[in-house]
Amino acid sequence: MSKDKDRAIVVKRAAPAKKGHHGGAWKLAYADFMTAMMAFFLLMWLLSSASTTQLKGIAEYFNQPLKITLWGGDRSAEDSSILRGGGRDISTDQQGITRMSDGSTSHAEHSQSRADDQAMKQLQGELERREQVRLHDLQVKLMAAIEANPVLRQFRQQIRIDSTLTGLRIEIVDTQKRPMFATASDEVEPYMRDILREIGKTLNDVPNRIVVQGHTDAVPYAGGEKGYSNWELSADRANASRRELIAGGMDEAKVLRVLGLASTQNLVKDDPLAPENRRISIIVLNKKSEEALTRDDTTTTTLSDDAAGAGRQLFPKIAPEMASAPVQARPQPPLIQEPHPAQQQQAQQQHEQAGQ
């Protein structure tokens, strides 16, 4: 019994078997998961800060059909990428303007410039609308003045007021019984003088300038077109009407043109000899027509520049050489002088001695 107590007890414990290294795949999966979550939160943050227009552009981009993306087709955006999305580039507020995949961007006007253009167009449209209102008020005022004047009321059938593309046109038409001027003359009849002066008084109510046109019928003068003809008569009558307008109180600076058109613009197309073709037209110009006529006056052409340009086109190579080459004198042949008589006699004697 004692021997058993003194015996040492040995406990053998087997060491656990070592397992092989299992790798860090879970770390990669965890990193991918975190990256995806970060990208998701960034996407949500960007979408929350995007405007409605930008969100619509993003939706159009991803709604691009796969067939059009791979094989091409109609799309609203322009891009140089192989796989092209739908919609337009949301980096600009202009339709069809996109950022290219190579880093370049298509050059377009800035949104501010476009806003300025729209504001300018709106302002121009507002000015044209106000001008039309002014011309309409002038038309109403003229018609009211004619009706209010007992002298002019009986001639209202000869006064025509209508709107044209160039402005408000006021025409005073001649008739067989009531001519505006004396026969074949620029002498204004009394009733015509009253009409013109009443119109001239009213034209100061608008800032628009006017054009006065004289028209005649096609009855020729006995002397033909070489002497005093319908051209001179229509111009003289238009100028006489201008004087009566100014006498009625119109500012003389309002007159932009005084034209004599003879019988080139007949009112009665079928009858060039009709008395209605004899008339005076007063055109109250709108702003656009006035600017066009004023621009034509200031446009000039230099004849020498045109001639030089034509010469350069006709002789592109010869002209510069001719301009730069110096003028050289033609070589002259040598002069042959006749010998003096004494020299001839001396030469003859030397010849005879040499022969002897």
pTM: predicted TM-score of the whole model, two decimal places: 0.52
pLDDT in tens, 178-221: 888 988 889 999 989 988 998 898 888 888 899 999 999 998 87
Whether 334 shows a pLDDT value over 50: the answer reads: no
pLDDT in tens, 56-87: 777 776 776 665 666 665 554 445 555 555 55
- Residues 6 or more apart in contact with residue 131 via CB below 8 angstroms: 208, 286, 287
Looking up tokens 């229509």 gives 234
Domains defined along the chain, listed by start:
127-298 (3.30.1330.60)
pLDDT in tens, 271-330: 999 988 999 999 999 888 888 888 866 655 555 555 445 444 444 444 444 444 444 444
Kindly list the distances between the CA atom of residue 245 and the CA atoms of 94, 106, 180, 240, 276, in Å, as whole numbers in the listed order: 53, 58, 14, 9, 22
Residue 213 backbone phi and psi in degrees, to 5? -120, 135
